[in-house]
Amino acid sequence: MITLVLSLADALRYRFAVSPLAEVVVLSRAMALPDAFAQGAPAAWLRRHDLIRRRLEREHDLRPLLVLMASGPCFPYFLTPTNEGALGDFDRELAEVRAAPEERARAEIEQCLSAWTELEPSVERQLCSRDAPSLLADLLTLVWQALVAPSWPLIRDVLERDVLYRSRALARGGLAALFGGLAPLITLAEPELQIQCKGIDATRVLDGRGLLLKPSVFIWPYAGTSLDETQPAELRYPARGVASLFWGPQPHEGALANLIGATRAQVLAVLDEPMHTSGLARLFKRSPGNIADHLKALRDSGLIDRARAGRHVIYSRSPLGDALLVGAEPAAARIAEQKWRGGFADPSALVPAR
């Protein structure tokens, strides 16, 4: 278990980040450690993209990257820079990896290599060279281009929805609500945040710079944090709604679909969490114009509300929409909806059966 000791100054400085590079690193670890990641979101993703992964490993020598990813519970910290000013920008994150100080990169790589009793000489030479950060950046780019970039808009939608959900939870119920639903993987026992991490027992006292929260679609069933005290603390945790990447919206049948139409009933169900038009269009595999027409009809009926958040107009279900969707059995309806939306009420749903 890793324990983060929080202070009041830290609690006042919570913030969120979306990191495509962190997603690529976690997926690379799943490729390098298939037994450790035999279950959960990364295993399901790699099975779905098995032919692409096999071609990637056949056409490119990924061994230097995979050796580091398989060296134990830790990997070089410089591969996941904080870089808060480049949220969601893979190229800028990668530029920071290439620019990692030589001494730091060498020390972190050597620490990982010390876990190996036997290593191929050619791989060891590459990882011990001055060009190792650039080589690893190139290999991470290959993984990104093959396995993540084609689906990044959908992945980013899931991550941004999680940030919106937890931001609202923080406003409503403080830190307890922010971390609600993540136990026992992550548990708040004030003033400590306890993170289950097999093979590591450590404590880090935060220094008042706060905590950077990074949702991840590929990290479940694990969570991650940095023990590098020279860098701001960060926490990588499983994002909500990952199942939508695999199955998409489920058909909505019954009286509500007959009343307002099947598609509008689906949209209303999905808007349990705020979303924008482009994200809904990707989720439903329809044009933004088609989704906008459905949103206008739902809003004109008072079933959804809208608000601007940054560059997007965000839609969410109104109290009237809640009442119409939930009906006379709110608890049962909520539970059923959570299961198909990928909430952690049913974690096994993240691994599609073959």
Q: What is the mean pLDDT of each run of 10 residues along the chain (354 residues)?
A: 82 86 93 88 91 94 93 83 71 92 91 86 91 95 95 89 84 82 84 80 81 90 80 86 72 74 84 82 86 89 81 81 64 42 35 31
Q: Which domains does the chain have, with CATH numbers?
A: 2-15+154-242 (no CATH), 21-150 (no CATH), 244-350 (1.10.10.10)
Tell which residue, 223, 49, 75, has the closest CA to residue 144: 49
DSSP 218-267: S-TT--EE---TTS-EEEEEEPTTGGGGTT-PPP--SHHHHHH-HHHHHH
Beta carbons within 8 Å of 19's beta carbon, 6+ residues apart: 80, 87, 88, 93, 214
* Residue 208: predicted pLDDT: 79
DSSP state of 117: S
Between strands 211-216 and 14-16, the pairing is parallel
* Residue 149: predicted pLDDT: 94
* Residue 250: predicted pLDDT: 61
Question: At 213, phi and psi to the nearest 5?
Answer: -100, 125
192 pairs with which residues across the strands?
5, 189
State the alpha helices, DSSP H only, in the chain.
8-11, 20-32, 41-48, 50-59, 63-69, 90-98, 102-113, 121-127, 132-143, 152-178, 255-260, 262-270, 277-284, 288-300, 319-326, 330-341
Taking the chain, what is the end-to-end CA distance rounded to the nearest angstrom? 33
Question: What is the distance between the alpha carbons of residues 106 and 129, in angstroms, rounded to a whole number?
Answer: 8
Residues for the chain: how many in total? Answer: 354
Calculate the alpha carbon distances from 208 to 8, 84, 162, 225 in Å.
8, 17, 25, 16
* Residue 223: predicted pLDDT: 87
DSSP 71-107: SSS---GGGS---GGGTT-HHHHHHHHHT--HHHHHH
Question: What is the distance between the alpha carbons of residues 229 and 212, in angstroms, rounded to a whole number?
Answer: 14
